[in-house]
Chain A
Amino acid sequence: MTDEAADEKRIESSPSSEFVQLFTHHQRRLFLYILSQVHNPVDAEEILQETNVVIWSKCSKFQPGTNFLAWVSQIANFEVMKYRTRKRREKLVFSDEFLETVAEASLERSEELETRRAALADCLNKLRPKDRELIQQRYAPGERGKHLAEQIGRPANSVYQSLGRIRRSLLDCIQQRLTAEAPS
């Protein structure tokens, strides 16, 4: 095949604008969906990338008008399984039953989770500056949490405790906001 013909073929199989739109829109949800099953963000990202490749190559198979999240989460499930097969020997993992249960619950309540994410931004702003800084350091790109304690020169346990406390206060704050906003 000549280069030009190859180009044309690619253009033909390139996804529609609606598909690009759906795809971009769902990246975060998909990431969080995967994370709920593998609990390590770095691994979840890797799986997301693998999943994206499959989604893209199958873009023509998607039926417009059907549930996009349901479609991509099936692809993700398959990628999570492949990942677990790879990692089974080296890491502690949850059981298949656990995964299925969690995945199901996650899809069921995906709208609720999405609403909570919106509330988070405000709650982050309400943190004490010191706490916010610690959270930012913990989640800075490339940070894996383990070196953070060394970096800031605090005992590891105390850093973990602080992080746990801050996460809990964020969860409380989100809960409060949603309760306040909910129609009475």
Chain B
Amino acid sequence: MSTVQQSPAELQLLLDGLCEDRLTPDQMSRLEHLVLTSSEARWQYLTYMDLHGTLYWDAAGAGSPEPLSSQEMPVYVAPEEITPTVPSASKKRSGQRMSLAIGALTACLAIMFFVVWQQPVPVNPPVVTVPETVSKNIAAVIPTERVRSTIPRKHGPPISIDQPVNEHEAGSSGDSLLVQEPKPVLEPKPDVFTTDTPSPSLVSSETVIARINDELQTRWNVLSLLPSARADDSEWLRRVYLDIMGRVPTVSEAQAFLADKREQKRETLVDELLNDSGYARNFTTKWTNLLIGRSSNPQVNREAFEKFLRVSFAGNRPWNQIVADLISAEGNNSENGATNFLIAHLNNDATPATAVCSKLFLGRQVHCNQCHNNPYDKTKQLAFWELNSFFQQTTSVYRQRRDPNTGRLLSGFTELVTRDAGGPTYFETQNGLMQVAYPRYDGKVVDSSPETNRRSELARLMTTGEQPQLAAAFINRMWEHFFGIGFTRNADDMGPHEPASHPELLASLSEQFMRSGYDIKQLIHWICLSEPYQLSSRFSESNRNDDPSLGDLPAFSRMYVKPMTAEQTYDSFLTATKAHQVGAVDWTQAERNRQQWLRQFVVAFHTDENDEKMAFEGSIGNALSLMNGPLIDKALDTSAGSFLGEIVRQKSSEAEKIRSLCLATLSRPPSPSEFSSMKKMLRDASVSHDGKPHLNEAYQDLFWALLNSNEFASVH
């Protein structure tokens, strides 16, 4: 035992100094002396360093997000060991430089595009190498690229650190490891996802709509806001067409609605539109852009994916079933269109798939957690990789087909395949240590053996039964679609740091949406007939400050103005000008034409997260294209058969012609002052300075001005 009596305080100070690297050589030897001569001091030294190290270790993200009970403890069991998907440097973010370079290019492109955009965008066919040995008289199906690499990294082994373990358990069990079967919380996977039958306590549409109205009214009272006046029929009509159909109404559609005197005409129209193929097309466009992006990817079969969505929306399939299909899809991507969602996001160890699923289906932004814990809320890096772990069996294989007779290569397809792989996913914490994650969703652990199809399990865990988060995320996004802003500032992010503007309403709508069996058309019906959706976008002094762009939470006391999306602009343009009739084409060709037109605005960043930017809203490119592009040339065509030509030649009064042009573009008749200035302009043109009337040109100018007005370019 010790003969040197040191004061405890002295030892403490020395240890403090050691932890902060502040000891002088003398202090170092004093500390060494104390530790060597007294077992008491030695123990203090050990416990102190242990505390220091543990604080350091846990702060780096090694800790479990929440304490796990021993039953939930995910334990690695791999009956047939496969080479683990070994982490590579690519799991760290890269590609930032790339995006910078492309960002710089964008600036040039914005100026250059109208010169080059008509040239077809080269689509690189996937390069396929066909082994010589393939017999030419067999239709060969050859797996080629994009098989996930299973080669371990060169420098060092997969290094992992301790997994979430209840430390009391670990401590008492010593070194003998508990290699116990993980207890799967789940039943064996089902082959089909059963439809949720609507609960008997389904309430009527009127009740739900009344609830929306009450909640908002209460908030207006609290904030002493007077809501805007009710939108007149033409304002509401244009809005509902753009929101549901993705285009403005035609002249005859507008005339019919404005002339309709029935009380229920708004409700009737909403239900008519929801049964129109235009609804399915518009929501297919919206969700295709969200789910696979606008950039073209040679592996992805966009047409097949759109077909999957179109059939789903047209048939009003429940939202949870659509999500289940997207997550669990397998097979040939031209036959099963749903596969294309994951095919588009499997790069970089499926980290984009992880982030996109969480963002779109759950309203949770987790891509930052790929590399670190969230400093603002409890979202942990481990949770990201636990979700990612569900995609680790998935890979896509490009298959080339051959004509059995001629031996010629036919166009191939991509197949989404689930491999019999098991075990953990490895990832790197911020301080460069390796950790492991096992498939776990919402606290439920899934058996990590190769026999389990993890995506089927994820689809089950995420979409069956009552899933408030799935429902809330969808409602928030739909609310954003119709009101310009959701209950949270960004529909992608409903995390704890983003308070909802109307949490009770959101919860109650989620409840009703789940009870309705995730009925999408029903939800749209509720929203479009609710009081706030009837309000005008014009504000008064009383509700001027209800402006989310100022950073406040929205009160929805008026309709916020939304800029048209690129697709809405294009489709509205065609509707207003009937430009597509000049050289009419079939439906598929029309889709391709639109896709080609849109491509000029899409900038793909080629980052690890498959980021892209739509350089459309309010951009120079947008303005130039609308002012000078071939589309407007067609629109302003006054030859026989064209829309403008017909109007000009019609045996109708000047007033009628002006009215038609206004209805076509703004869905409303001109105001008296607008009318008089338009009339004056046409009159000036008819008595031109060079003696010849320029009436055609005057109508072209008028139409051009209407098409380029702010009112045309916005949804209000």
Q: Which of B19, B67, B161 contacts A24 (CB 8 A)?
A: B161
In the assembled complex, which residues on chain A have CB atoms less than 8 Å from the CB atom of B75? Answer: 21
Task: Check if B53 sits within 8 Å of A32, measured CB to CB.
Answer: yes
In the complex formed, the residue of B with least CB distance to A99 is B32
A3 to chain B, nearest CB (A): 8
- Known pairs A24-B160, A25-B177, A136-B59; A171 contacts B81 (CB<8 A): no
Q: Does B42 contact A (CB under 8 A)?
A: yes
Task: Check if A101 sits within 8 Å of B163, measured CB to CB.
Answer: no
Q: Which of A44, A92, A139 contacts B25 (CB 8 A)?
A: A92
- Known pairs A114-B167, A114-B170; A167 contacts B48 (CB<8 A): yes
How long is the Cα–Cα vector from A118 to B171 in the complex, in angstroms? 8
Interface string of B2-29 (1 = CB under 8 A from A): 0000000000110010111111010010
In the assembled complex, which residues on chain A have CB atoms less than 8 Å from the CB atom of B175? Answer: 67-69
A102 to chain B, nearest CB (A): 7
Q: Which of B42-58 contact A (CB under 8 A)?
A: 42-43, 45-58
Q: Which of B47, B160, B430 contacts A171 (CB 8 A)?
A: B47
Interface string of A42-71 (1 = CB under 8 A from B): 001100110011011100000000011100
Q: Does B157 contact A (CB under 8 A)?
A: yes
Which of B54, B151, B423 has the most chain A CB within a 10 Å cutoff?
B54
B47 to chain A, nearest CB (A): 6
B436 to chain A, nearest CB (A): 6
How long is the Cα–Cα vector from A44 to B431 in the complex, in angstroms? 12
In the assembled complex, which residues on chain B have CB atoms less than 8 Å from the CB atom of A111? Answer: 171, 174
Task: Check if B32 sits within 8 Å of A98, measured CB to CB.
Answer: yes
Which of B22, B39, B55 has the most chain A CB within a 10 Å cutoff?
B55
B141 to chain A, nearest CB (A): 20
Q: Does B150 contact A (CB under 8 A)?
A: yes
In the assembled complex, which residues on chain B have CB atoms less than 8 Å from the CB atom of A41? Answer: 52-53, 56-57
Task: Check if A10 sits within 8 Å of B152, measured CB to CB.
Answer: yes
In the assembled complex, which residues on chain A have CB atoms less than 8 Å from the CB atom of B151? Answer: 7, 10
Q: Which of A100-144 contact B (CB under 8 A)?
A: 101-102, 105-106, 109, 111, 113-118, 120-121, 135-136, 138-142
In the assembled complex, which residues on chain B have CB atoms less than 8 Å from the CB atom of A170? Answer: 51
Task: Check if A36 sits within 8 Å of B57, measured CB to CB.
Answer: no
In the assembled complex, which residues on chain B have CB atoms less than 8 Å from the CB atom of A136? Answer: 59
Contact count band on B: 35 or more
Task: Check if B163 sits within 8 Å of A25, measured CB to CB.
Answer: yes
In the complex formed, the residue of B with least CB distance to A70 is B175
Q: Does A20 contact B (CB under 8 A)?
A: yes
How long is the Cα–Cα vector from A102 to B430 in the complex, in angstroms? 29
In the assembled complex, which residues on chain A have CB atoms less than 8 Å from the CB atom of B16? Answer: 160, 163-164, 167
Q: Does A168 contact B (CB under 8 A)?
A: yes
- Known pairs A141-B430, A163-B20, A164-B13; A17 contacts B54 (CB<8 A): no
Q: Does A74 contact B (CB under 8 A)?
A: no
Q: Which of B170-198 contact A (CB under 8 A)?
A: 170-172, 174-175, 177, 179
Interface string of A15-47 (1 = CB under 8 A from B): 011101111111110011001100111001100
Q: Does B131 contact A (CB under 8 A)?
A: no
B163 to chain A, nearest CB (A): 5
Q: Does A14 contact B (CB under 8 A)?
A: yes
In the assembled complex, which residues on chain A have CB atoms less than 8 Å from the CB atom of B18? Answer: 39
How long is the Cα–Cα vector from A106 to B158 in the complex, in angstroms? 27
How long is the Cα–Cα vector from A16 to B177 in the complex, in angstroms? 14
Q: Which of B13, B21, B32 contacts A95 (CB 8 A)?
A: B32
Q: Does A11 contact B (CB under 8 A)?
A: yes
- Known pairs A27-B433, A36-B50, A53-B156; A160 contacts B150 (CB<8 A): no
- Known pairs A141-B61, A141-B430, A164-B16; A118 contacts B54 (CB<8 A): no
22 CB < 8 A contacts A-B: A14-B83, A24-B161, A24-B436, A27-B161, A39-B18, A39-B19, A39-B49, A55-B157, A94-B28, A98-B32, A101-B35, A102-B45, A102-B46, A114-B171, A116-B50, A117-B167, A121-B67, A121-B167, A140-B59, A160-B22, A164-B12, A171-B51
**A contacts, CB < 8 Å to B:** 7, 10-11, 14, 16-18, 20-28, 31-32, 35-36, 39-41, 44-45, 48-49, 52-53, 55-57, 67-69, 92, 94-95, 97-98, 101-102, 105-106, 109, 111, 113-118, 120-121, 135-136, 138-142, 145-146, 160, 163-164, 167-168, 170-171, 174
**B contacts, CB < 8 Å to A:** 12-13, 16, 18-23, 25, 28, 32, 35-36, 39, 42-43, 45-62, 67, 75-78, 81, 83-84, 150-152, 156-163, 165-168, 170-172, 174-175, 177, 179, 372, 423-424, 430-434, 436
